[in-house]
Structure 1
Amino acid sequence: MRNTLIVAAVVSAMGSMAASAAGGPAATPDRFVFESIDGGQIDLAAFSGRPVLVVNTASQCAFTPQYDALQALYDRYREAGLVVLAVPSDDFAQELDTEDAVKEFCEVNFDLDLPMTEITHVRGPAAHPFFRWLAEDAGFSPRWNFNKVLIGPDGAVVATWGSTVGPTSGRVTREIEALLP
């Protein structure tokens, strides 16, 4: 019985890898779920067919003022379908200690209403499965806070940007606008 379970697990994993290599369903990020800072979950499948900008964030970083631009971007394009997802992370030792502190900081200082996850690992073996997938399948791993990943309506990674590229820069908005109806 144990050998049957092991074989089934290996066959399943190989099928997932083959589907991923072929660009099948396993190759898309819509299979990932994050814990929401507001409670509950953020299921990327709920955003299928829409562009999603995923940004690893931190409250005590020189790039933290980008929260204003992330909210402006969300306000500008949300009616057309854009989702901006903030993923607070302490992987670079610049995040507050608790989700409550992060949520309060963002509400008070930036009036954020965009979706936000709980504090999440974005690098290394403890990284959230989305960020492990991003590193393995798309070859991108955040090098610092406020790295941006644009996922197209079809689930493909469209573009990635580092911390120094502002959320409302032409480089970012041109890519987003090309994906909107």
Structure 2
Amino acid sequence: MSPLYTLTATSLNGTPVNLSDYAGKLVLVVNTASQCGFTPQYAGLEALYQEFKDQGLVILGFPCNQFGGQEPGDADQIAQTCQINYGVSFPMFAKVDVKGSNAHPLYKWLTRALPGWLGKSIKWNFTKFLIGRDGAPIKRFSSITKPESMAAFIRKQLQQS
């Protein structure tokens, strides 16, 4: 069984979620922030989700305040930014650390499995990790990778599985 399916996370509304709920899905994990230059990527992520959710893609957003203090808000403020400004309908989770000793176990696992160019650490907001339907990490995308540029790769992964 994939380590992904043994983990839990807290939804933005405070409900515990077993990540095994996403078994069999192509999962895109993204660390997000509401006051970042990359925040407009929420719109592109939502567009990907709408295009591919019926084929098995799920996007999981994890707000993080570790990069320039760009996610200072509480859960209600984060939800408002996501839903009102960008129409986000994919699952959003409670704020987490994505690097350091207090990093969420999901991010500890992902950064070990898919290190970046400069090592395992995440360098900024909107780093994206794609996990296959079998729970195996497939690819890491940098913050500067726009969601729309990932569509062909995601489509290929959905067709292969």
Match of 2:143 among 131, 150, 163: 163
Separation in 2 of the partners of 1:176 and 1:135?
Answer: 20
Instruction: Name the residue aligned to 1:3.
Output: none
Residues 175 and 42 of structure 1: is their aligned pair in 2 closer, same or farther, counting only changes over 3 Å? farther
Q: Counterparts of 1:178 and 1:156 in 2: how far apart (Å)?
A: 16
Secondary structure at the counterpart of residue 64 of structure 1: coil
In structure 1, which of residues 58, 61, 64 is the aligned counterpart of residue 33 of structure 2? Answer: 58
Name the CA distance, whole Å, in 2 between partners of 1:31 and 1:141.
22
In 1, the alpha carbon distance for the partners of 2:11 and 2:95 equals 9
Q: TM (normalized to structure 1)?
A: 0.80
| Distance in 2, Cα, partners of 1:63 & 1:138 | 21
Equivalent residue number for residue 149 of structure 1? 129
The offset of 1:32, in angstroms, is 1.3
Matching residue of 2:89? 113
- Mapped to 2, the partners of 1:101 and 1:78 lie a distance apart of 25
Structure 2 stretches of 5 or more lacking a match?
Answer: none
Aligned counterparts of 1:29 and 1:141: Cα–Cα separation in 2: 19
Provide Cα deviations, 1:20-64, integer angstroms capped at 9, x if missing partner. Answer: xxxxx3x53121111000231232211111100000000000000
C-alpha RMSD over aligned residues: 1.3
Long gaps (5+) in structure 1: 1-24
Alignment check: 8 A CA contact 1:56 1:142 kept: no
> TM-score of the superposition, structure 2-length normalised?
0.90
- 8 Å Cα contact 1:42/1:117 also seen in 2: no
Q: Of the two, which has the highest radius of gyration?
A: 1
Percent identical residues: 38
What residue is the counterpart of 2:72 in the other structure? 96
2:43 to 68, 82, 102: 68
How many residues align structurally? 154
Give the direction of change, closer, same or farther, for the CA distance of 1:166–1:149 in structure 2 (3 Å limit). same
Given that 1:131 and 1:141 are in contact with CA atoms closer than 8 Å, whether structure 2 keeps it comes out as no
User: Which residue is 1:81 aligned to?
Assistant: 56
After the TM superposition, which parts of structure 1 deviate over 6 Å for at least 4 consecutive aligned residues?
Answer: none
Q: Which has the higher contact order (CA 8 A, sep 6+)?
A: 2
Structure holding more helix per residue? 1
